[in-house]
């Protein structure tokens, strides 16, 4: 809809279309393998396929982090500094931000895979998970994997933690700007422009923090896998629903698209 409808050719919907593409990358990478495990209770995968799945999962996670930060910055400018929003987000600045997000994901995810090539796997070749995630993969290694763990911790700290703090700071500024609006209708209109993104941020970072920062001790493997399902399957499923549920522009674009399809079928 963003590509077809000219009314949606704005930086906010441009970033939203990239977030949708990232969600498609996550879903097509993880869900088919998950469905096969649910149907057959197990599945087999080559080492090359496992590494490829791990690479695209890691890159998509980094890309989504970057895109959520870029989208929060976009909403911050639109609400906190609306007079300069058009000039700051004018072409080609929003293109550069999107290219930066995808480049960070595809480049940084290579580091983990390159370091994994130095790790030996000589134990059981069974992973108790629904896709090739890093933690269960390192659990079956029989050599020192500290270099991989340090690299992942650094990337998670720089990309995950710093960007989470950046998103948090932007929303503090957004809420300050909203509360300074004199009219109730103006505050509601300003909050509605960022409520969908705020819901996605809370869902994504909530599951991510629970999955990675909560100590493993005392938590079952099933609980970890449940959080992984929330992060890799349910979040990409709910994102388009959250963004289109109360968005009048997207709903109008959908009605126009449906009308055009019916018109072409009749003609």
CA 67 to CA 7: how far, in whole Å? 22
CATH code: domain of residue 82: 1.20.1070.10
Q: Which residues of 148-180 are buried (b: 16+ CB within 10 A; e: fewer)?
A: beebbeebbeebbeebbebbeebbeebeebbee
91 in any annotated domain: yes
99 in any annotated domain: yes
262 in any annotated domain: yes
Per-residue CA distances from 156 to 4, 150, 199, 209 (Å):
36, 10, 22, 11
Model pLDDT, residue 216: 52
Model pLDDT, residue 126: 85
Residues of the chain with pLDDT under 70: 123, 212-221, 246, 260-267
Per-residue CA distances from 148 to 30, 80, 109, 159, 248 (Å):
22, 41, 11, 16, 46
pLDDT 10s digits, 103-141: 999 999 999 889 888 888 876 788 888 888 888 888 888
Is the separation of the CB atoms in 76 and 170 below 8 Å? yes
Model pLDDT, residue 205: 83
pLDDT 10s digits, 10-35: 888 899 889 999 999 998 999 888 88
CA 85 to CA 32: how far, in whole Å? 41
- Backbone φ, ψ for residue 191 (5° rounding): -70, -35
Q: What is the DSSP letter of 233?
A: I
| Count of structural domains, the chain | 1
Cβ-based neighbours of 64, under 8 Å, separated by 6 or more? 19, 22, 23, 26, 204
Other beta carbons less than 10 A from residue 4's beta carbon? 10
Overall residue count recorded for the chain in this entry: 267
Model pLDDT, residue 227: 77
10 in any annotated domain: yes
166 in any annotated domain: yes
30 in any annotated domain: yes
1 in any annotated domain: no
Is the separation of the CB atoms in 55 and 148 below 8 Å? no
In terms of Cα–Cα distance, which of 237, 231, 239, 195 is closest to 212? 231
pTM strictly above 0.95? no
- List the structure tokens of 241: 């629903």
Domain that holds residue 75: 6-266
- Backbone φ, ψ for residue 156 (5° rounding): -65, -40
44 in any annotated domain: yes
Model pLDDT, residue 102: 96
Model pLDDT, residue 177: 86
């Amino acid at each position: 809809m963003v590509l077809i409808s000219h009314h949606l050719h704005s930086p906010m919907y441009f970033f939203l279309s990239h977030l949708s593409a990232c969600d498609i990358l996550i879903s097509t990478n993880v869900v088919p393998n998950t469905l096969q495990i649910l149907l057959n209770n197990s599945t087999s995968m080559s080492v090359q396929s496992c590494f490829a799945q791990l690479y695209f999962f890691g890159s998509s996670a980094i890309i989504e982090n970057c895109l959520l930060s870029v989208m929060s910055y976009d909403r911050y400018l639109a609400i906190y500094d609306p007079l300069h929003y058009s000039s700051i987000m004018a072409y080609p600045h929003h293109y550069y931000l999107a290219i930066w997000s995808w480049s960070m994901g595809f480049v940084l995810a290579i580091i983990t895979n390159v370091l994994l090539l130095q790790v030996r796997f000589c134990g059981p070749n069974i992973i108790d998970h629904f896709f090739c995630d890093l933690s269960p993969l390192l659990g079956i290694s029989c050599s020192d994997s500290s270099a991989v763990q340090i690299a992942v911790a650094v990337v998670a700290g720089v990309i995950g933690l710093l960007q989470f703090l950046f998103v948090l700071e932007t929303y503090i500024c957004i809420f300050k700007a909203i509360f300074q609006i004199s009219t109730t209708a103006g505050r509601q209109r300003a909050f509605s422009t960022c409520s969908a993104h705020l819901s996605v941020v809370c869902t994504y970072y909530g599951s991510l923090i629970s999955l990675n920062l909560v100590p493993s001790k005392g938590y079952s493997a099933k609980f970890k896998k449940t959080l992984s399902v929330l992060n890799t399957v349910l979040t990409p499923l709910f994102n388009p629903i959250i963004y289109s549920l109360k968005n009048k522009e997207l709903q109008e674009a959908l009605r126009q698209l449906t009308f055009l399809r019916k018109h072409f079928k009749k003609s």
